[in-house]
Structure 1
Amino acid sequence: MTSAEGLVLPQSVGGSLNLSGLTSANGLVLPYDFNLNKLICPSYIKNEILQNPDKYFRKPPSEEENISVHHKR
């Protein structure tokens, strides 16, 4: 895979994420709490993510979403 366009990641990724074939970070959206040490990709992609975290990480769940999740359990 060379492009993240259309890639939909789950809310949480438990292990490593191998995106070593990416040539661009465009379209990539990582879970908000994802550990970048577990991302396998070209260094220039990782640098792009580090320089623009708001662009590449999901927003954290709002308090309302957290409350509704707890009530569903």
Structure 2
Amino acid sequence: MEKFNKLKILFSLLVVLIIILGFTVSLNLTGGWYQQFMPGIGGRQIADITFIDSLTGYAITARLTFTDT
């Protein structure tokens, strides 16, 4: 019975250690990522966003004038 109590205490300490380390160790999972900002679009609102593949996308805005492309 004495061995069971020691094993139970050891297991409890191990669980507490894992929980404490889980909340204190910070992992940087986004190592190669950085924040990007939209270029100036003249105050226009984005109407739609279209992606042609996983890396290339286009933002569509409303036309302001006839010659606006």
- Structure with more strand by fraction: 2
Q: Do they superpose with TM above 0.5?
A: no
User: Larger relative CO (CA 8 A, sep 6+): 1 or 2?
Assistant: 1
TM-score with structure 2 setting the length: 0.20
